[in-house]
Amino acid sequence: MIMSGMDAEVFDQFIEQLWRYVHERLIPAEKDVIAANAIPEDILDEMREMGLFGLTMPEEYGGAGMNTSQYVETIRVLSYALPAYRSITSINLGMVCTALKKSGTEAQKAEWLPRLAAGEIACFGLTEPGSGSDSAAMQTTAVKDGNGYRLNGSKRYITNAPFAKLGLIMARTSKEPLPKNAHVSAFLVDMEKAGVTVGKPDKKMGQEGSQIADIYLDDVHVDGDALLGGEEGQGFRTAMMSLDNGRLSVAAASAGYARRILDTAMRYAQDRKAFGEPINQFQLIQAMLADSEAEIYAAECMLKDATAKVDAGEPSLLPAASTKLFASEMCNRVANRCVQIHGGAGYLAEYEAERFYRDSRIYTIYEGTSQIMQLVIAKAMLRNFAAGGQA
């Protein structure tokens, strides 16, 4: 099914407005966000008013009804600013909303999508202390209890956990691993329920303002209608479908932030003088700038191609993984060059280059490490080749 999305003219106007908001409001507020390690409530309210929490929600649930191409372009523009601004919205949009739209019952959609579109914050509970990509090792359990379930276990490194009102929690509904990870189910958990505890926010290398924390589930009772889609064994499939959108969001964040990093490097190279002239006149500096521009352009093109395939209803696993792999690694290379262009100043916290370097590092890790992306890509290539003679 082709996803038409928002009217093109209206979308262009929205992007123009967002671009101004990013440059005139969000970037000037970055120092305050970093100092507090949280986005101020007045800015969150402005983001809610702009509809940034409901970009991909259907219009009937209070959202903007964007297709994937429009959503990813919005994330790319938003990600020119501090990564925290994307993080606070992206779990709602790229993962939880996707899971609800594709797998939720009509009652679940009616209850949660309007609340998420209005700006209630969600988190996505897959990773655990002993399992990340290895779902067979998941220890969180959901045991039948009357017409509901009791959840016990813990989740680790969960983005937005300290702020979340809703958690999409993966748990085992079967003790033994089953084919196609059918032992894992997904549950919509009100984060204020008795037995849900959120740990102290973790101290991170970068990405200040975005918070992650552990979630502890101690005999948490949920009704049967909390089971996503009303069917056991669909949780992992739901998570993987959601991760395709999540990975494209990370790729868009990488491309948007890399553009900010390159602009900063260009500005410094223009202003900094050595041997009587701006360092942007030195060919080896120019080489780093040129390589960065070429790689950012490649990532932007990959994003457009991958999201067009999603909107056309074509298989998205391979293009999403490929785009996430390239864009995240690219952003790290651009950040490294930015530090190098700054020289000794790039190692000092008073310059943005140092922060960019720390912020970018996570992009090659979350929503699937680069190594997991390589495995996903290779398996898809081999499967496609075996089926049709080409990768």
CATH of the domain at 352: 1.20.140.10
Do 136 and 100 share a structural domain?
A: no
Do 182 and 110 share a structural domain?
A: no
Interval 116-165: pLDDT, tens: 999 999 999 988 988 776 766 889 999 999 999 999 999 999 999 999 99
CA distance 155 to 168: 11
CATH of the domain at 49: 1.10.540.10
Q: Which candidate, 40, 242, 8, places its Cα nearest to that of 122?
A: 242
Q: Choose the catalytic residue: 73, 352, 354, 367.
A: 367
CA distance 27 to 36: 15
Q: How far is CA 228 from CA 117, 132, 169, in A?
A: 18, 21, 10
Residue 207 is classified by DSSP as -
Do 223 and 244 share a structural domain?
A: no
- What pLDDT is stored for residue 368 in this prediction? 87
End residue of a domain, out of 120, 143, 162: 120
CA distance 43 to 34: 14
Do 382 and 251 share a structural domain?
A: yes
Do 168 and 250 share a structural domain?
A: no
End residue of a domain, out of 97, 120, 143: 120
**How many CB atoms sit inside 10 A of residue 263's CB?**
12
Do 368 and 256 share a structural domain?
A: yes
Do 279 and 374 share a structural domain?
A: yes
Name, in order, each residue with C-beta under 8 angstroms of 263's C-beta and a sequence gap of 6 or more.
none
Do 185 and 94 share a structural domain?
A: no
Can you give the residue range of the structural domain that contains 155?
Answer: 123-232
- What pLDDT is stored for residue 135 in this prediction? 66
Low-confidence ranges of the chain (pLDDT < 70): 1-3, 133, 135-136, 389-391
CA distance 102 to 92: 14
- What pLDDT is stored for residue 133 in this prediction? 66
Do 96 and 135 share a structural domain?
A: no
Interval 95-104: pLDDT, tens: 888 889 888 9
Q: Is residue 3 part of a domain?
A: no
Q: Is residue 22 part of a domain?
A: yes
Q: Is residue 2 part of a domain?
A: no
- What pLDDT is stored for residue 178 in this prediction? 77
Interval 271-314: pLDDT, tens: 999 999 999 999 999 999 999 999 999 999 999 999 999 999 99
- What pLDDT is stored for residue 131 in this prediction? 78
Provide the 3-class DSSP secondary structure of residue 106: helix
> What is the CA 232 to chain-centroid distance, rounded?
26
End residue of a domain, out of 72, 90, 120: 120
Q: Is residue 272 part of a domain?
A: yes
Q: Is residue 1 part of a domain?
A: no
Rounded to the nearest 5 percent, the helix, strand and coil shares of the chain are 60, 15, 30
Q: b/e map of 59-83 (b: 16 or more CB within 10 Å)?
A: eebbbbbbbbbbbbbbbbbbbbbbb
Do 153 and 295 share a structural domain?
A: no
Per the structure, the count of domains in the chain is 3
Residues, the chain: 391
CB of 296 closer than 8 Å to CB of 259: yes
State both tokens at 110. Answer: 């009616």
Q: Is residue 25 part of a domain?
A: yes
Do 148 and 246 share a structural domain?
A: no
CA distance 148 to 293: 54
CATH of the domain at 174: 2.40.110.10
- 367 counts as catalytic: yes
Q: Is residue 266 part of a domain?
A: yes
Do 155 and 69 share a structural domain?
A: no
